[in-house]
Chain A
Amino acid sequence: MLSIPIERFTLDNGLRVNLSHDATTPVVAINLWYGVGSRNELEGKTGFAHLFEHMMFQGSEHVPKGRHFELIERAGGSLNATTWFDRTNYFETVPSHHLELALWLESDRMGWMLPAMTQEKLDNQRDVVMNERRERYDNQPYGDWDEWIQAMVFPESHPYHHTVIGSMADIEAATLEDVADFFQTYYVPNNAVLTVCGDFSRDEALDLVERHFGGIPPGAEIPAIPGEPNLDPIIGGTVRERVEAEVPLPRVLMACRVPTYTDADFYAADVAGSVLGTGRASRLYRSLVRERRVAKDVTSFVFPLTSGAGMLLAWATGFPEGDPAELEAALVAELEGLASVTRQEIERAVALTETALVQQIERVGERADLVSMFDQIFDDPERLNGELERLRAVTPADVSAFVERFLGADNRAVLTYVPETAKTPNPRGP
């Protein structure tokens, strides 16, 4: 059982605030989760939540362009932000004596971002994001896999059907009006969680948070997620796509819908995913890589999503002359074979997770992010302390029940990459 101390408060404007003290190193982390991500994007606006995240670094009323990075780096801090399906997070870790600087910067863009927005800044960041897309997706072997997989696992009406990066055309079409709308709708204190973690004085931190964030007015109620977030627990068949692309080796990716993170059955899915593909003793590594030698590498993970369904993903990369059909059959055999897992396998999976989680919370930035996550998703930041126990409680029977229900041929997306034989134009993305 972990015993991370967490104190929680709510400001009058609805901002949830968590303080988690630890004086081991004289540093402090500030972490903000906004309850907005790619799932909130409307048709024709894919990629906008992420582009907006970039705009948050372009200055605010009292902070000129470039100053945010400059001040934090000069203070000896690190900072960044990421956009995901269900949320966007912003974070700084700074030497303790710069706590107020970080709070001031985060509060200024939460309360006073719009006066600083200009067309020039938007044009610049659209270019940056289009280059990010080229670098990570278009000019990268297998780089478009998530566009395919998300479109296969989630129907067009579902908010997870499209990717976080979005389409080039939609990124290009973004306007300043979109920036203003998005800001006023989602970047409001009642849609955010602020966590302060590390070496700070409690009373001073509370006072600073109130001083900098307390005057920001709350926004309206957050609109419902667009589209149809509710969906069948399973896909209802096996969906497959075959992509000939400029890739060095064949690769087969397999995905299925699983319970959401907020569903009690999620933990069985998580343990199943670990037994399947985490570590050298995992099923996939042992069978496909070590014993049968059909795969060069294997990976599996479970996406802890919250809207309608989560997703389990596994992939295997073959050898140059390898037969993708053989890879697929081997993956299927291991997915279905998970119906019988041993107590020892679960114990190993939980032991690996325990080490990884403890290593994660050694860093105040990571710890703050977890506290924000548990607050945002579960309305219960303390839940972090019991997470390992929930995994330990999973039994072989729980895993079997999960596998029977979710890992069959009626809930499967199969994406196969094969090296292209000739230089012919290839349609990109679904």
Chain B
Amino acid sequence: MSAPSRSLVPPAGTVRSFDFPSVQAEALDNGLRIRSVQVGRLPVVTAIVVLDAGEGLLDDGQAGLAVLTGDCLEGGTSERTGVELAEALEAIGAGLSIGTGWDSTTVALSCMADRLDDALSLLAEVLIQPSFPDDEVERLRDQRLAAIRQREMDPGGIATTASRRLTYAEGVPYGRPLSGTVESVGPFSPDAAAGFVVARYRPKGSGLVVVGDVDAGQVRSLVETHFGEWTGGTELPPEIDYAPRTRERGIVVVDRTDAVQSEIRIGHVGQTRSTQHYFPLRIVNTVLGGAFTSRLNLNLREVHGFTYGVRSRFLVRRGAGPWCVSTAVGTDVTADAVHEAVTEITTLVAEGPTEEEVGSARDYLAGVFPLRLETTGQIAARIAELLIYDLPDDYYADYRDRIRSVTLEEAHEAARRCIRPDEMTVVVGGDAKEIQGPLEELGWGPVTVEASP
């Protein structure tokens, strides 16, 4: 029944062009940068305020301050209680989406485009006049403490937390959990939140991105109206040495008695967002563990059936974020899975990717670029990234060309410089009595066992 032509992969049709939508860049007199993009397929709009207020600014004693301050924005403003604020936002079909990371705090919302005036008015009120009532701050702190407790009992969370701690030297922010610890979050108070807002929620150094069915003139005028009275600026971030905890390879088992799976994390200190290897590294990571057809996934999942999935990521930040391979595997195959993963990593660095793999990774990354720019929220998030990392407004114009121009040699060079198999720490959250012996038998590195938190 099958026609002969079925055996042939169909040819591609004519390529249709794709350009990143053009970004209008402006600024208010108070220093607030405005970036707007008009896309009008559907009558919807996304606004994101980007604040230079990340956790990476804070020392260990203050860990969680940026996250908690972001949490507490829902507590109300000088104009409305928290309940009134929530009702006003939801009446226009919006909700605050607050994202605190190492490099920034973002406060975003989406709504139908004809409600943008009300939306920006509420957004400005939340950022310029937050009220931090005692009972709301206490409530949100208690919720965060409970969330920390959940993280400390989550198998994946336990392994990731241990991996970060073992990756960075004592005192490097990236070595601790983003939202802090019970000790650092416990003393959080309304004064702490208000102090952080005074220091970091300032127009100079911040940005506002608006993407959707609105024109730049309208955006400029609305932003002027609602954010024009905001004043002040932020201090430069501290200089931090993102030093590793060790340059020796080793395996650390975080014991979880009777666990049915082992959570594995393999990595070391990685790269900054501004690394010169950024594009070659995207290619290398795709080949190693950034796509379904990556070496790690094909080996651990499709050949051996050890896992549901495995991935590799370079978490690029202002400072050198971690490079981390992560997976969850059956207890009985833990050592085999570690062996296969370490072998794949080592081989890739030593021998480099093949021309075929680099070609596939280039096509994949260049091809999926527009797939991830369909919505106002996706476009706004990409532009927010430009503000956070001081990248030029036309950065995305030649993004696909830069991906497509990465050579085999550049990719191999990036792998050699950015992945160092002899410096990897392997963290395994699992049942020590079952897996310690087999891991030692690998002979790859010293095995130590820790109790889980």
Partners in one complex: yes
Whether A280 and B143, one on each chain, are in contact in the complex, defined by CB atoms closer than 8 angstroms, is: no
Whether B368 and A97, one on each chain, are in contact in the complex, defined by CB atoms closer than 8 angstroms, is: no
Whether A362 and B305, one on each chain, are in contact in the complex, defined by CB atoms closer than 8 angstroms, is: no
| Interfacial residues, chain B to chain A (CB-CB below 8 A) | 1-3, 6-7, 9-18, 39, 41-44, 74, 82-83, 86-87, 89-96, 110-112, 136, 139, 142-143, 146-147, 149-150, 152-155, 257, 259-261, 291-293, 298, 301-308, 328-330, 360, 363-371, 373-377
Complex: chain B residue closest to A103, CB-CB:
B10
Known: A248-B149, A348-B90. 8 other contacts (CB 8 A): A26-B17, A62-B2, A76-B369, A135-B308, A248-B153, A280-B90, A296-B143, A320-B146
Whether A290 and B260, one on each chain, are in contact in the complex, defined by CB atoms closer than 8 angstroms, is: no
Q: Given that A73-B291, A73-B293, A131-B329 are contacting pairs, would A97 and B139 also be in contact in the complex, using a CB cutoff of 8 Å?
A: no
Q: Is A45 among interface residues, defined by CB-CB distance under 8 A? A: no
Mask of A83-115 contacts with B, CB within 8 angstroms, 1/0: 000000000011111111101100010011000
Whether A359 and B293, one on each chain, are in contact in the complex, defined by CB atoms closer than 8 angstroms, is: no
Task: With both chains docked as a complex, state the minimum distance between the C-beta of A382 and any C-beta of chain B, in angstroms.
Answer: 18
Task: With both chains docked as a complex, state the minimum distance between the C-beta of A381 and any C-beta of chain B, in angstroms.
Answer: 18
Whether B261 and A358, one on each chain, are in contact in the complex, defined by CB atoms closer than 8 angstroms, is: no
Q: Is A364 among interface residues, defined by CB-CB distance under 8 A? A: yes
Whether A74 and B305, one on each chain, are in contact in the complex, defined by CB atoms closer than 8 angstroms, is: no
- Chain B residues, CB < 8 A from A429: none
Task: With both chains docked as a complex, state the minimum distance between the C-beta of A8 and any C-beta of chain B, in angstroms.
Answer: 22
- Chain B residues, CB < 8 A from A21: none
What is the interface of chain B mostly: helix, strand, loop, or mixed?
mixed
- Chain A residues, CB < 8 A from B307: 128, 131, 135
Whether B139 and A293, one on each chain, are in contact in the complex, defined by CB atoms closer than 8 angstroms, is: yes
Whether B44 and A359, one on each chain, are in contact in the complex, defined by CB atoms closer than 8 angstroms, is: yes
Instruction: Report how far A1 CA is from B370 CA in the complex, Å.
Output: 28
Whether B7 and A62, one on each chain, are in contact in the complex, defined by CB atoms closer than 8 angstroms, is: yes
Task: With both chains docked as a complex, state the minimum distance between the C-beta of A72 and any C-beta of chain B, in angstroms.
Answer: 9
Complex: chain B residue closest to A319, CB-CB:
B146
Q: Given that A24-B41, A127-B306, A248-B153 are contacting pairs, would A354 and B374 also be in contact in the complex, using a CB cutoff of 8 Å?
A: no
Question: Which of these, B42, B74, B308, B365, contacts A128 with CB under 8 Å?
Answer: B308
Instruction: Report how far A140 CA is from B155 CA in the complex, Å.
Output: 7
- Chain B residues, CB < 8 A from A24: 39, 41, 374
Task: With both chains docked as a complex, state the minimum distance between the C-beta of B261 and any C-beta of chain A, in angstroms.
Answer: 4
Task: With both chains docked as a complex, state the minimum distance between the C-beta of B154 and any C-beta of chain A, in angstroms.
Answer: 6
A-B contact pairs, 29 of them (CB 8 A): A25-B18, A25-B374, A62-B7, A66-B298, A74-B360, A75-B363, A76-B368, A97-B12, A98-B12, A100-B11, A124-B305, A125-B305, A127-B306, A131-B261, A131-B306, A248-B149, A248-B154, A281-B90, A286-B86, A289-B143, A293-B142, A296-B146, A344-B91, A348-B91, A351-B90, A351-B91, A355-B94, A362-B375, A363-B375
Instruction: Report how far A251 CA is from B76 CA in the complex, Å.
Output: 28
Whether B2 and A112, one on each chain, are in contact in the complex, defined by CB atoms closer than 8 angstroms, is: yes
Whether B15 and A69, one on each chain, are in contact in the complex, defined by CB atoms closer than 8 angstroms, is: no
- Chain B residues, CB < 8 A from A352: 90, 93, 95
Question: Which of these, A71, A131, A317, contacts B9 with CB under 8 Å?
Answer: A71
Q: Given that A320-B149, A363-B374 are contacting pairs, would A297 and B367 also be in contact in the complex, using a CB cutoff of 8 Å?
A: no
- Chain A residues, CB < 8 A from B293: 66, 69-70, 73
Complex: chain A residue closest to B369, CB-CB:
A76
Instruction: Report how far A307 CA is from B425 CA in the complex, Å.
Output: 51
Whether B95 and A77, one on each chain, are in contact in the complex, defined by CB atoms closer than 8 angstroms, is: no
Whether A78 and B371, one on each chain, are in contact in the complex, defined by CB atoms closer than 8 angstroms, is: yes
